[in-house]
Structure 1
Amino acid sequence: MQDETNETLEGFEQARQSFEETQALKSELYKRTINRVLKGPIDGALEPMEWQRLKECESLVLVRLEEMGIRLVVNDSDRVCYLTNLQSALDDDAEFVAFRSSQLSRTSSIIFLLCLQKYLESEEGLDSNLRRFTLDEMVEALFAFEGSGASDVDRKFQQKIRQSLKDLEQFKLIRGSEIIKGKQEEVVYEVRPLIKFFQSELGLRELRNTIGNYLRSNHTPTDSSEEDQKDDSQAQLNIYLDQE
């Protein structure tokens, strides 16, 4: 009888330890996930483990963030999540306000709009190839806006585009992958689903007006860095991104 009692007590103790270990793991997972989503958006295709962790404790994370006045938007179909201001999420008439925002230069803003257009067209046509492009293809598309002529200006122009692509890649709006083409390596960029969420109608209208005014001015770039800075400052646009 004593042996049976001891076995029962040992069983209870093992169950208690197992429960405490499980709770500790859940607590650690919850804390890690909270810290991760506060750092920026998650693209599940690029970060499958982070996405899985989020889904395992999603309800707890949502409650905690709402207590902080922040809403976590989780889109299961695109496997992405991002943060917004809670008030703008609850009020349909409120302008979209993200947890943090970042300004893009004129060149980056134009590339953003072109990439957004590529992504939306790929969704409409159900063709993922439409959201892929190379540096040369983007340079060709941007020539219409820059009117570049001299070779030294062209090199400077290409460097500016490369930097803008790096900025968008940092924000996880695009992803660059190296492929072997013949004997050379080439970077192919793919527009990511997050791009369609980080926009506001007001922002897009401002950006389109900026591009329209820019084309009508028949602007030709010069070697003057002061003029480049002036143009960029005039065309800066807030693209709402959850980034540190």
Structure 2
Amino acid sequence: MQQYTRERIEEEEPMFFLLKDLIECFECEQIIKGKKIKRLGVKIGVYQCDNCNSVKYGKEILEQEVINQANKFFNDILSPMFKEFLSRVVDEQASIHKKLEQELDRVKARLKNEIAQDLDILLEIEDVSDLPEAVVKLDQELKKITGSYNRMKDKWFENIETLKELNSFHDDFQESIQIIDEEMEETLIKELLEDIIQGIYAMSKNEVQIIFKHPHIEGMGGKEIIEFA
């Protein structure tokens, strides 16, 4: 009967690559894969580009650096200063939303009046192409403003919900906390990273850039650089 030592069991356990599908080689634009290699008789994990062999990073070192930067980004977007900034954004969006709503009402009223004036003509029309030019232009303007109004409303409501979550967070936690903890399950850590990382780019064997994104607010993020000796 084959004997399984502790060392053999540990060696056969699968290796979890936290940054799988997140790192791209800047030079060849290929996704960098996680690999297991043997060094001094011990299997270790690395992230290495298949095309650019010099682009290689130790698994544990790179993952820890990414987690450190991710926690800093979480602290930034959960900070009281960011809450104040978001509050100002919500107020500005409320003002824009109101102006668009008023403009929408004005165009609707003008279109209604135009239709009332041309009602006899409109009743005789058999094809849309025969509509009066004034009616067509007002209809196009109405569609344009409606589109802007709906897009602004969606962003405004989303930011309001984010602000509510931030207020709730600050009610529960008065000081900054570490969102990603080393005791967490690896799959949960990966989900948290995917929520805020737009991309990780291997610029060279000595430099990696992380592009962060806000999980709820479009167009808001940041960039961090990791340098290796």
Q: TM-score, normalised by structure 1?
A: 0.27
Q: Which has the higher helix share?
A: 1
For the pair shown, the structure with the greater C-alpha radius of gyration is: 2
Q: TM-score, normalised by structure 2?
A: 0.28
